[in-house]
Chain A
Amino acid sequence: MLFLKIFQIALVAGLIGLDRLAFGQFMVSQPIVAAPLIGWMMGDFHTGLLIGVVLELFWLRGLPIGGHIPRDATLSAILTAGLCLSRPGSIQGLDTAWMAWVFLWVGILLLPAGFLDQWIRRKNALLIRMALSSESPEHGVTRAVWMGILIFFLYYFGVTFMVVGFTGGLLGRGYALLPGDALQGLRLFLFLLPALGLASLLARKDIMQGRIHLAAGTVASFLIFIGLKQQSMPVLVSLFLLSFIMVYVQERRVSVS
């Protein structure tokens, strides 16, 4: 049963991988979509979503600019969600320490997976020859494109099937040996992880031009919380106005200068 589930996950991972690498780029491959999808397939959407949210924030800055290939956030999300939920008896109420443990393992695996990705892309140069060598160039190009799709599909399918299918048991045994303090540390680690993703996003010079927006967002968020706690509509309204005034003042300053 579990084998069949893992096979299904690997198939879906292959299709999600195509969205990232080969077809469409509709961003179904982003962690916030891919991980809940895997979670839903495994019967725990909530855990999938939690993994998706944390990883989406952690990989917020991965920019595939030019020929640069960033770390594979998609594979990270699929493998983390797949491994987390393939542990027998893990459905509902999953411990975040286990999630963090799996995430660390997947983080290590991303390094060889990255090399494999690069190797495939280097070998894909053969597809140009395939396109040119055909009698009809039109058919040659079509064949090369479908071959590229098949290769990328098999890459995601294969990596997911191998990792989720064959490393989960080992990972579980290692986890069982961890002392209680280490588990607490892992829970804390997962909770603090989004801070690194936000920091890497804020490090961009183009984004940090309007710091007032950052402050406005924080003020709004705090006041919304207070307003909700006290169920006070005037507080909620005034806080929205306050945050918009802050942003407006900033925009005026920019347009004047």
Chain B
Amino acid sequence: MNKKHLPISVLAKALFRGFFIQAAWNFDNFQGVGFVYALVPLLRQSEFSEEEIKSLVKRHLSCFNTNPYFAGMILGGTMRMEEERIQGRVTAEQIETFKNDLTGALGALGDSFTWGALRPLAGLAGVLAAMIYETSAPLVFLAVYNMGVFWIRGAGFWNGYACGPDLLTYLSNIKLQKKIYWMNGMILFAVGAFLPLWIMQAVPAVGFTYLGLFLFMVLLVWTGLKAEQKGVPLLVQGVVLLILSQGLSHMGWMI
């Protein structure tokens, strides 16, 4: 490799290919194939020998499983370290250790951030938007969700490449845990706001008071929460709700 740093165009191609990280997802190496696919621009740019390319591909086809949005950070870091390996400053074992250390950590952190906080928050924002102006709901959901993950993808990849093995320092600086805490607060606020709004939409067709229906819904959520804590699967809860609904309709409840 004759250049110290990769050109922007190569990094941009790798970033785009990172969108395919789950394309060949399997139970043997999870996102391993997608990860190597994202490394292809590096292989094309560099002056690796045929043998080196084969060994690099084989090395990176090992098990790789992390949050797809945070995978870009590891991808950027790995590209940087592969460059440094050619210059003799890093060994292949160190790259392997770097990847292994970060996949677990970023997997846990990324899942809490995207699946645990951002997606429910965006979903609830979309639902609340649907109650105000219905056509805006899908757009609100996509905007809230993608604003968060585009930042993670873009800045994560770039900082991964810039920091290389020092990626953990960058991670501790962006204070993701605090962001997750705030998003969880907003999720709870949205859940609290949703229930009365949902009931108010239905009440005109029911011989019920708002308060009565609200209390019944709260009781239902509480029962569902206890069932969830006891490990009752969601589909079983659904069947019980179906039986309950049929019973209530026989008693004259109408929606």
Contact = CB atoms under 8 A, between A and B. Distances in A.
Contacts of A152: 23
A231 interface: no
B26 A199 contact: no
Contacts of A250: 185
B105 interface: no
B227 A199 contact: yes
Given A53-B137, A141-B40, A186 B245 contact: yes
Closest 9 CB pairs of A and B: A217-B192, A199-B224, A148-B24, A124-B26, A203-B228, A185-B249, A185-B246, A213-B188, A189-B245
Interface string A43-58: 0011001001100111
Interface stretch (A86-94, A154-162, A218-226): A218-226
Given A22-B20, A61-B120, A137-B54, A193 B238 contact: yes
B138 A247 contact: no
A66 to B, nearest CB: 7
Given A57-B194, A217-B194, A225-B196, 4 more contacts: A187-B249, A187-B255, A206-B116, A218-B195
Given A187-B255, A213-B186, A145 B33 contact: yes
Nearest to B192: A217
The A contact surface, by secondary structure, is helix
Contact size range, B? 35 or more
A207 B220 CA distance: 19
Contacts of A115: none
B176 interface: no
A60 B123 contact: yes
Interface stretch (B7-15, B126-134, B161-169): B126-134
B224 A144 contact: no
B192 A137 contact: no
Interface stretch (B74-82, B83-91, B94-102, B107-115): B107-115
Interface string A192-219: 1111101111111011111101111111
A149 B81 CA distance: 29
A166 interface: no
Contacts of A227: none
A107 B137 contact: no
B134 to A, nearest CB: 6
B141 A132 contact: no
Contacts of A32: 123, 126-127, 130, 137-138, 141
B106 interface: no
A121 interface: yes
Contacts of B222: 199
